[in-house]
Structure 1
Amino acid sequence: MSLLYQNPIIHADYADPDVIRTGKDFWLVSSSFHQLPGLPLLHSRDLIHWKIVNHIITALPSPEYDSVQPGKGVWAPSIRFHNDQFWVFYSLPDTGIFVTHARDPLGKWSEPRCLKAEPGWIDPCPFWDDDGRAWLIHAFAFSRSGIKNKLQLVEMMPDASRLLDNERIIFDGTPSHPTLEGPKLYKRNGEYWIFAPAGGVKRGWQTVFRATSLYGPWAFRDVLHQGATPVNGPHQGAWVELPNGENGFIHFQDKGVYGRIIHLQPLRWANDGWPHIGKPLDENGKGQPVQTYRLPALAPSPCVLQDSDDFAGGKPGLQWQWQANPQDNWLASGPVGLSLRCIPTPADLSLYYLPQLLLQKFPAERFSARVVVQPVFYQQGDEGGIAIYGQRFAALCVMLTDTGITLCFRHGWMDDRGAINEAVLPVRELNDIAHIELGYCVSYDGLVSFRYRLSGDSWQSVTPPFSASAGKWIGARMGIYARGQHEEHTGKVTFSRFVVTQQ
């Protein structure tokens, strides 16, 4: 048995992670943007193996999110345990800062409450001090607030019921730390610490700030850079302390089409009191990411991050998210598998803006997926199939046309002007076919080969291959869908077991 772990520990898009430990349990939350249910909650016992165990919110509190809003929604949450409760703070960048809590993280969380209706206040993190006072630190989105590169501290009622009116900018990173954001506030040995990223997601770095007062002055060090490694922009995450005093730092790497994947770095506190993260890069305490490292001093607790799904009870598993607030009539009942109704949508509505797309993250650098598709169509325009979603998107679908059921390849992209271009190409006629198996193989850099198989036949590839891309602030997604064009949406598509094989 290997005594080493290998980075990334999660090769999937869990952007802006925050992690805490309660006893033997580790809990991770991440940004979910416009996809719902939102705020996925992951659990681990060994910091290496993770599993999705809940979603903290089921919908977003505005009719705006009944339609697809790429890049909006939940940004950079934080999770804390205080007063025997779990707390999650997050922002909707166009609305403000929200809070929700639960005594049982696996159960239903409280209805989110808006702490501050202030567009552009983002990346909130709470802090309860030893004297009983409570605080909130946050960053700014320039696109909404006109402010950037600054961290603000606000006092908060200890029960997190409201913020108090004593806002103060405690650090201005304009000259030295552009795109300063995502702060996490801690206390250690009587000193206050802020872990915050700067420099942007592609080429940024991790900075740590230190002070004896919450109002500063704050000394700082840049503690994690890419260095000589392939791990670009290693930053924005969480300091975690193990029961034996060992420490780690969990952060993301922006890997383009795959999204923001998760790494674990060793962290040690040096004699001068500053944290050293990763492998030493210079004599000033700056580190670079490790590819492998010794396992944390925790009992191994293997589990698998969900990808395949047998749709037990006709419901999607926790790995799936819709593109907008979910509606009850999107699902139909059926004896086996997951049945999606052919919900009427305008014929010219692009797949990119289709709310009932049911998607999950790319689970690995290379993988394949397949699913049996059984259409029950009644009206022209009924369709359903598998999709790859990003700012370039594609689907292999079955469609009822004036000549019968046809296998089609639908693809499109968003151009530099923000306009959607989309086309539908017939692949072959499928009359008298009861069901068909659809799938794709994803290779390096998100190169996708769509394929299909009729009963008893071999797999047939659809050419040319499709080059997937990231979406707005998210990596590419894969999934399934159904749609129609008529109000009497009696058609449906049943998907029987979605099988993912990682390579």
Structure 2
Amino acid sequence: MFLRTIITFLLSYIPLLVFSQTLINPVIWQDHPDLDVFRVGHTFYYSSSTFAYSPGAPILRSFDLANWEAVTHSVPYLNFSPANAYNLTSNSRAYVKGIWASTLRYRPSSDTFYWLGCVDGGKTYIWSSPGGNARSNGGEVPPESWNWTPRPVIDKCYYDAGLFFDDDDSQVYVVYGNTQIRIAQLSVAANGDLREVRNQLVYASSDMTVEGARLYKRNGEYWIWVTRPADAQYVLRGNNPWGPYTRRVLVDRIQGPLVSAGYAHQGGVVDTEDGRWFYVGFLDAYPGGRIPVVAPMTWGSDGWPTVVRDGANGWGMLYFLPVNTTRKVGVLGPRVDEFKGMKLGPEWEWNHNPDNGKWALSTGLVLKTATVAGDLFAARNTLTHRIHGPKSRGTFRIDVGAMKDGDRTGAVLFRDKAAYIGIHKTGKTASIVMVDNLNLVEGSWTTSSTGRVAVTGPSVTGEIWLRIQADITPAFGTNTGRQAIFAYSTDGKTFTILGSAFAMSNSWRYFSGYRYGVFNFATKALGGEIKVKSFVMDIV
């Protein structure tokens, strides 16, 4: 409420020209954690964690560090082992596994983007894509040029990795580790494959846990950014990649810019074309997840960096816009998707790898039943979309005319503690229902409850609009359960609330924040289908 009041005031009383030149934190009010950020020409890129969602490791693009759009995913499908877990088959699943604290960088000499990530504490997976001549196009990649392909796996875990190509990009390094920070030097084969050729411990912390390492170079010196989870950022400074390194604190439990949220930490730094530097971190802001914030940095006469704070000595809610440009990006927030075209937009991710034979785009999104199950958490082909904060609503328009007896479909508020509004087909009757008490066991992430029908509404035969209105205003560290409301409409205009408000979990242990989702699974036999005709997300 505080942030909304401030923004409303600014829009009302500050000239629009001034406001348009302002960076507002959080820069993206969506769950984009464990970020890696860098610049190619005038284009900024941002990669984040997705765990078991597929495709994984989304890439965002910006021209000013304040406005971002989704462009692609580095990992088109989760090619991780065991495959049945990431495919949600054979009663296996990969909740809170998969992609976390990975890294993305661009190699100019070969015009190639590389993504690396340690999966499940075992091997490091690698994917790459051509850059579409990004090196001579200001960093901008034509949409058709993104073509991600897997590379040979490195049989070692680069934990919380940070990939770095040195000045002439012939020297390739990965910094990684937890408390024991190591650097691996990689060679690049003629075909673009990466292989480790040297590995060395460069810093050992004796007084705290540090992780989330990123490697940078400035004025001939090497800098390793490490976080003390989950409230501080430290920097390590050395004259060469192998050290020795000296440590200094950058931010330690710095307040702001949101109430009932965590402290800005982790992330990384990036410079602008004119040589100014910015720190991009994230806040624990559950139930919405972990959301990014940006602050400018200055470099002192002693060569060490400092984050620019606001008048209260905290992380500012408002800063001057890092880059003034006429280049525009799309919108990550309010949107309408009618599922047209040949592929899903980059804002969408499935819960685990989908069964691609059970969905299609055809004047809408066709979801055939892909699983016979009594458990939504075990059902394949649940399609999810990040919730935009602090308050928004997601509305799915669905044709349920081709459902079969025993089928379950609906709009779900998806996380380890979940609820949905949907349709249960029994015999020839399709009834609107509100279902809550869908729960996973924290830690093992097995299903403890498959849900209960809290309220049953009227029957429906054709199209139905299903809506979730969610308040993800941060309540991290409190006992306040932010609420979601479920509603339906038979004409898309008048909506009826069904059931009581659902209180969301503020726990960080699932890591991902709540999402809007749409699902369709069978409890008796495959063969039914639905068509999702549109999705609308708007701010309320």
TM-score of the aligned structures, taking structure 2 as reference length: 0.83
1:257 corresponds, among 287, 305, 309, to 287
User: Is residue 291 of structure 1 aligned with residue 309 of structure 2?
Assistant: no
Task: Give the number of equivalent residue pairs.
Answer: 481
Within 5 Å, which residues of 2 pair with 1:144-293?
Answer: 148-159=178-189, 161-164=193-196, 166-173=198-205, 175-178=206-209, 180-198=210-228, 200-201=229-230, 204-229=231-256, 230=258, 232-279=262-309, 288-293=314-319
SS in 2 for 1:279: coil
Match of 1:144 in 2: none
For the residues of structure 1 that align with 2:483 and 2:535, how far apart are their CA atoms? 20
2:536 to 496, 499, 502: 499
Query: How big is each residue's C-alpha offset from its partner over 1:200-219, in whole Å with a ceiling of 9 and x where there is no partner?
Result: 23xx2111100113222211
Aligned ranges 1:409-424 → 2 under 5 Å:
409-411=434-436, 412-415=438-441, 418=444, 419-424=447-452
Per-residue deviation at 1:486? 4.2
Deviations 1:41-94 (A, max 9, x none): 111111111111111221111413111411111121222222232222222134
Q: Is the 8 A contact 1:155 1:167 kept in 2?
A: yes
1:199-250 CA deviation, whole Å, 9 max, x = no partner? x23xx21111001132222111111133343452311212111111111111
In structure 2, the residue matched to 1:145 is none
1:95 aligns with 2:153: no
Alpha-carbon RMSD across the aligned residues, in angstroms, is 2.5
What SS is found at the alignment partner of 1:112? Answer: strand
Does residue 15 in structure 1 map to residue 43 in structure 2?
no
CA contact (8 A) 1:170 1:215 kept: yes
Distance 2:529 2:99 in 1: 31
Query: Which residue of structure 2 lines up, in the alignment, with residue 455 of structure 1?
Result: 491
SS for the counterpart of 1:273 is coil
Instruction: Using the TM superposition, give the Cα deviation of residue 366 of structure 1 relative to its aligned residue in structure 2, in angstroms.
Output: 0.2
Cα offset, 1:426, TM superposition? 6.2
Which residue of the partner structure matches residue 425 of structure 1? Answer: 453
> Is the Cα–Cα contact under 8 Å of residues 439 and 450 in structure 1 kept in the other structure?
yes
Secondary structure of 2:54's aligned partner: coil
Q: Distance in 2 between matches of 1:456 and 1:182?
A: 45
CA displacement, residues 457-503 of structure 1 (integer Å, 9 cap, x when unaligned): 7321122111223672211111111111344x331111221111113
Give 3-state SS (helix, strand or coil) of 2:336's partner.
coil
When residues 157 and 453 of structure 1 are mapped into structure 2, their CA distance, relative to the original with a 3 A threshold, is: same
Mapped to 2, the partners of 1:378 and 1:47 lie a distance apart of 45
Structural mapping, 1:320-469, within 5 Å: 320-332=348-360, 334=362, 336-347=363-374, 350-377=375-402, 379-402=404-427, 404-411=429-436, 412-415=438-441, 418=444, 419-425=447-453, 427-428=455-456, 430-431=458-459, 433-443=461-471, 444=473, 446-455=482-491, 458-469=494-505
Structure 2 alignment gaps of length 5 or more: 1-16, 132-140, 476-481
- Alpha-carbon separation, structure 2, partners of 1:7 and 1:333: 36
Q: How does 1:27-46 map to 2 (within 5 A)?
A: 27-46=45-64
Alpha-carbon separation, structure 1, partners of 2:193 and 2:409: 45
The alignment status of 1:138 with 2:159, answered yes or no, reads no
Distance 1:429 1:476 in 2: 25
Alignment of 1:458-497 (within 5 A): 458-469=494-505, 472-487=510-525, 489-497=526-534
> What is the identity, as a one-letter code, of the residue corresponding to 1:463?
G
* Displacement of 1:438: 1.0
Shift of 1:134: 2.6
**Which residue of structure 1 lines up, in the alignment, with residue 22 of structure 2?**
4
The alignment status of 1:316 with 2:348, answered yes or no, reads no
Larger mean CA deviation between 83-92 and 419-428 belongs to 419-428
Distance 1:121 1:405, change over 3 A: same
Distance 2:461 2:263 in 1: 49
Q: Percent identity?
A: 23
Which one of 73, 77, 92 corresponds to residue 102 of structure 2?
Answer: 77
Give secondary structure in 2 for the equivalent of 1:232. Answer: coil
User: Match for residue 143 of structure 1?
Assistant: none
Secondary structure of the residue aligned to 1:352 is helix
State the 1:164 CA deviation.
3.5
Q: How far did residue 158 of structure 1 move?
A: 3.9
Aligned mates of 1:111, 1:331 — CA distance in 2: 23
The one-letter amino acid of 2:41's match is G
Residue of structure 2 equivalent to 1:66 = 87
SS for the counterpart of 1:214 is coil
Q: Which residue of 1 aligns with 2:44?
A: 26
Cα deviation digits, residues 275-315 of structure 1 (max 9, x gap):
11131899xxxx74211111113315443115431111375
Q: Is the 8 A contact 2:117 2:158 kept in 1?
A: no
Query: Which whole-Å CA distance do the structure 1 matches of 2:194 and 2:344 have between them?
Result: 36
Residue 415 and residue 80 in structure 1: after superposition, are their counterparts in 2 closer, same or farther (change >3 A)? closer
CA distance in 2: counterparts of 1:221 and 1:209, whole angstroms? 7
Alpha-carbon spacing, 1:428–1:473, altered in 2? closer, same or farther (3 Å): closer
- The CA deviation at 1:323 is 1.0
Query: For residues 15 and 176 of structure 1, what CA distance do their matches in structure 2 show?
Result: 26
> Which deviations, in whole Å up to 9, do the C-alpha atoms of 1:109-162 show, x marking residues without a partner?
4422244223x53222223345843322112xxxxxxxx422111221144634
Is the Cα–Cα contact under 8 Å of residues 130 and 146 in structure 2 kept in the other structure? no
Q: Which ranges in structure 1 are unaligned for 5 or more consecutive residues?
A: 140-147
Residues 228 and 318 of structure 1, relative CA distance in 2, 3 Å threshold: closer
Q: Distance in 2 between matches of 1:21 and 1:456?
A: 43
Shift of 1:329: 2.0
Equivalent residue of 1:121, what SS?
A: coil
Q: Distance in 1 between matches of 2:77 and 2:122?
A: 15
For 1:459 and 1:109, locate their aligned partners in 2 and report how far apart those are by CA, in whole Å. Answer: 42
SS in 1 for 2:29: coil
- The alpha-carbon deviation at position 362 of structure 1 amounts to 1.1
Q: Deviations over 1:339-374 (max 9, x none)?
A: 211223222xx2223231100111111011212221
In 2: Cα distance, 1:238 partner to 1:167 partner: 23
- 8 A contact 1:314–1:339 mirrored in 2: no
Secondary structure of 1:439's partner? strand
